[in-house]
Amino acid sequence: MAENTDSSTARAYCRCNSGHYFQGVCCPYDGWSSAASRELAAAVERLAGEGQGLSLLALRKAGVSQETIERTIIVEFGSAASAFEALDPSGYVVNGEAQSVIKLGPNFK
């Protein structure tokens, strides 16, 4: 798969312990912050400043830790106008079963 080179539509989100995904250092829903969110925010800023596309591969090449990568999702939007700063999912379908975020294990929190 080709690396994304249009940084205007790709966004990186860190997962907080409540299951929210957010851009930046602190979750806007509950204020949660961590070394992972700080590392991700710094790497995203650095890549943007260098004019590099945003992808998990680019984050790895930039030296982002595996712990941070495991809390990260990249969303590529069809339009920059559709991009959002945070997401509050109440549940996921995992292994074909709809489950509440509260009932899922640490990989989802």
Q: pTM for the whole thing?
A: 0.84
- Domains of the chain: total: 1
Question: Is 96 part of any domain?
Answer: yes
Question: Is 87 part of any domain?
Answer: yes
Calpha distance 37→34 (Å, rounded): 5
Question: Is 3 part of any domain?
Answer: no
Question: Is 5 part of any domain?
Answer: no
- Which domain range does residue 53 map to? 10-108
pLDDT the model gives residue 1: 36
Question: Is 21 part of any domain?
Answer: yes
The DSSP letter of residue 64 is -
Q: What is the pLDDT of residues 2-35, one digit of tens each?
A: 444 444 689 999 999 988 999 999 999 999 999 9
Q: Are 100 and 91 in contact (CB under 8 A)?
A: yes
With a cut of 80, say whether residue 59 has pLDDT above it. yes
- Work out the number of other CB atoms within 10 angstroms of the CB of residue 2: 6
Location of structure tokens 């806007």? 28
Question: Is 19 part of any domain?
Answer: yes
Q: What is the pLDDT of residues 79-104, one digit of tens each?
A: 989 999 999 988 888 889 888 887 88
